[in-house]
Amino acid sequence: MKRLKQKEKKKNDNKIKKNKLVQKKIDKTSLKQKQRQAIEDLNNQEKDLKQSKNSKKSSHEFINQGLSLISQGKFEESLKIFDQAIKMDPKNDQAYINKSAALIELNQLEKSLQTINLAIKINPKNDEAYNKKGVALFHLNKQKEAEIQFLKAITLNPNNEQVQFNMGNLLREENRHSEAINHYNQAIKINPYDIEYYMEKGFCLQITQQYKNAVECFDQALNLKPDDKMAQILLMNQGYSLNCIKSCKEELDCYHKVLKINPKHKEAKKLIEQILTQEQMMKQTNYNQQKQKIKQQQKKQEKQ
């Protein structure tokens, strides 16, 4: 009986050993499966990252395409492109900002506000979002609310030339000309090559009767070689400022320059005629006064 029991024990031991071997094989295969799964997960993560990067690139490409359409005045078409950019990347605040700009150009101001609020929700630190919101509110004649938005943008980024300029325009509309000039100066400091900044500053200087400064300001703008339409506006206003400080020769020169650009400019022709008539009258008056003096002197000599 003992021998039988020993044989049974050996058989049982062999079974246990076999089971252990099988278990070890199972453990090894499970490890391999886990490794394969881990590799697959990593590959999937890499694919997801690549897809997200590609979507972002595509979103930026759509934005650039939309901006190009805005520059061409194709605002309706640009909206569709910005919508595609938003579909590609719903968290791209720049897509909403540019869509808002197109809506402002189309005078869809309420829609523009709704769109820009989404941009602010995504990124509350984007100064350009507050700038666009201020522009929309300004066109809705909500000047106080617009001013708050412009100030938020300036606080976030004082070097945003466009918001400095917009703030200047708002203040000029409210007859706060000295404050407006300060903001125009900031815009010019940031970008000294934008003709509009000098022109709007020049208008404020005229209103505040700083005519010499206005003449210099318009001259700075003219040195930047504006197009013909802008040049005529600048020269006419420079002529007006020169008239106010009684610099008739320089004033006349301005109007002649206008006629070189546009020979049919009615206002320039009219002002040239007025100046020449005044000069002729002055000459005649001076001649008559001199003639009278000579007569008086002759009379004195005859008496003597």
Q: Alpha-carbon distance 109 to 155, whole Å? A: 24
pLDDT digits (tens, 9 = 90+) for 65-93: 999 999 999 999 999 999 999 999 999 99
Please answer whether residues 213 and 229 qualify as being in contact, where contact means their C-beta atoms are separated by less than 8 angstroms: no
Average pLDDT, whole number, for the chain? 85
Superfamily of chain region 158-264: Tetratricopeptide repeat domain (1.25.40.10)
116-138 residues labelled b (16+ CB within 10 A) or e (exposed)? bebbbebeeebbbbbbbbbbbbb
CATH number of 60-153: 1.25.40.10
pLDDT digits (tens, 9 = 90+) for 99-130: 999 999 999 999 999 999 999 999 999 999 99
pTM assigned to the model: 0.73
- In the block, which residue shows the tokens 């000294």? 192
Residues in the chain where the model's pLDDT stays below 70? 1-57, 279, 281-304
- In the chain, CATH 1.25.40.10 sits at 60-153, 158-264
The string of DSSP letters for 183-248 reads: HHHHHHHH-TT-HHHHHHHHHHHHHTT-HHHHHHHHHHHHHT---HHHHHHHHHHHHHHHHHTT-H
